[in-house]
Chain A
């Protein structure tokens, strides 16, 4: 019996901070295709406001806000908030400046785990990245339709934390959870045991969690970026 059956499940969310309406439309369409609810924001102020109410698993941020309406906060403020308080949200910086080492260094100082996609490669590259992220596989688990599936049994773990943990594992990033999400991780641990998954959740303490495949714990995604 799948965990999701009989439950009303809210879709996983993705924050999109983009000041160009055309790009925004393309990105939000890509999010919908992979069953993510886009949280569109044209300014950093709007993004910070969304983060008061939502807990996205993915964030796409444009660094250049020159087309944005008036705003008082900066993209750095959003990056810092995501880094400090949204440990289950994976950040893609989508910018014309993504290939610039000095720009990357500035972003790294605020959000060391942010990943980069260059706008110079076109929006299709970003869309492709989002699609790949939302279809990743780890051990016998796979992300599909914004949920965690145990492939052999077809069972589903519906909480977004499953998606965050699998994304973390495939991107070689550990996931930091708040108290509520840590409870969901413990429920997921019980679910993994029940369905007989080869994947284990390792609690590193200080609310840091990671997934490992039993007997393959020394094997991890190659490169951290290439995998997803």
Chain B
């Protein structure tokens, strides 16, 4: 058997929290695996678990009072929407969506299954479905942008490369970039 070990599980929501892991348990039960796998990390485990979410987590959900060490560096310029239960800790880049009520947070993420921008939808586990039914795979930047809030994400992207991916995969979308904020728009 010529096998390198499995390195990831597909599109992932990474939940960072301490015991008793109630948010991870709730999201695991409510977000179906076709939308994303829900993985759990304590702040101490963050770097190790992050490496199992290749190329990076689709979404990050936090529930800690203080900023997990290394999280801003791991988020870097990747297009990763960030959700937080409670006030987002200082030092978190971008505009994380904060929820005082964890059940509202869970409901918001549960609705991601129905994401659609100009007819482009999530493909089960990873990738996208074009309006013509074609599959686009290997497009994690676009998957992240698809899940971005309306005002976009603070991300450092090679916009030309993303536009080429959109074109090659017949995705009727374009990238709008302004002041470091990036979002998908209908084309």
Q: Do A and B come from one complex?
A: yes
A residues with a Cβ closer than 8 A to B are: 83-85, 87, 101-102, 104-105, 108-109, 112-113, 169, 171-174, 176, 178-180, 202-206, 208, 210, 212, 214-215, 217-218, 220-224
Additional pairs, 7, CB under 8 Å, beyond known A109-B40, A112-B39:
A105-B21, A109-B45, A178-B2, A179-B1, A204-B125, A217-B124, A217-B129
Given contacts A172-B34, A180-B1, contact A210 B125 (CB under 8 A): yes
B121 within 8 A of A: yes
A84 to chain B, nearest CB (A): 4
Taken together as a complex, chains A and B put the C-alpha atoms of A174 and B34 apart, in Å, by 9
- Which DSSP category, helix, strand, loop or mixed, fits chain B's interface? loop
Taking a contact as CB atoms closer than 8 A, the residue among B24, B52, B125 that contacts A173 in the complex is B125
Mark each residue of chain B from 1 to 25: 1 if its CB lies under 8 Å from any CB of chain A, else 0: 1110111011000000001111011
9 contacts between A and B (CB under 8 A): A105-B24, A172-B34, A173-B125, A180-B1, A210-B124, A212-B124, A217-B123, A218-B123, A224-B34
Given contacts A102-B20, A108-B40, contact A84 B6 (CB under 8 A): yes
A193 to chain B, nearest CB (A): 16
B138 within 8 A of A: yes
Given contacts A101-B25, A174-B125, contact A208 B133 (CB under 8 A): no
B30 to chain A, nearest CB (A): 9
Q: Interface size (B, Cβ < 8 Å)?
A: 36
Which residues of chain A are near B24, meaning CB under 8 Å? 105
Which residues of chain B are near A112, meaning CB under 8 Å? 9, 37, 39, 52
Which residues of chain A are near B33, meaning CB under 8 Å? 171-173, 224
Taken together as a complex, chains A and B put the C-alpha atoms of A174 and B125 apart, in Å, by 7
B127 within 8 A of A: yes
Q: Is A212 a contact partner of B123 (Cβ separation < 8 A)?
A: yes
B residues 65-103 near A (Cβ < 8 Å) are: none
Taken together as a complex, chains A and B put the C-alpha atoms of A150 and B28 apart, in Å, by 33
Taken together as a complex, chains A and B put the C-alpha atoms of A101 and B60 apart, in Å, by 20
Q: Is A206 a contact partner of B32 (Cβ separation < 8 A)?
A: no
Taking a contact as CB atoms closer than 8 A, the residue among A169, A215, A218, A221 that contacts B122 in the complex is A218
Q: Is A85 a contact partner of B6 (Cβ separation < 8 A)?
A: yes
Taken together as a complex, chains A and B put the C-alpha atoms of A180 and B121 apart, in Å, by 32
Which residues of chain A are near B137, meaning CB under 8 Å? 202-205
Q: Is A206 a contact partner of B7 (Cβ separation < 8 A)?
A: yes
Given contacts A85-B1, A174-B125, contact A224 B40 (CB under 8 A): no
Taking a contact as CB atoms closer than 8 A, the residue among A85, A173, A202, A218 that contacts B121 in the complex is A218
Given contacts A83-B6, A214-B133, contact A102 B124 (CB under 8 A): no
Which residues of chain A are near B40, meaning CB under 8 Å? 105, 108-109
Which residues of chain B are near A87, meaning CB under 8 Å? 6
Which residues of chain B are near A169, meaning CB under 8 Å? 124
Name B10's closest neighbour in chain A (CB-CB). A174
Q: Is A204 a contact partner of B127 (Cβ separation < 8 A)?
A: yes
Mark each residue of chain B from 111 to 127: 1 if its CB lies under 8 Å from any CB of chain A, else 0: 00000000001111111
Q: Is B129 a contact partner of A174 (Cβ separation < 8 A)?
A: no
Name A85's closest neighbour in chain B (CB-CB). B3
B42 to chain A, nearest CB (A): 9
Taken together as a complex, chains A and B put the C-alpha atoms of A218 and B21 apart, in Å, by 30
Taken together as a complex, chains A and B put the C-alpha atoms of A50 and B1 apart, in Å, by 14
Q: Is B6 a contact partner of A174 (Cβ separation < 8 A)?
A: no
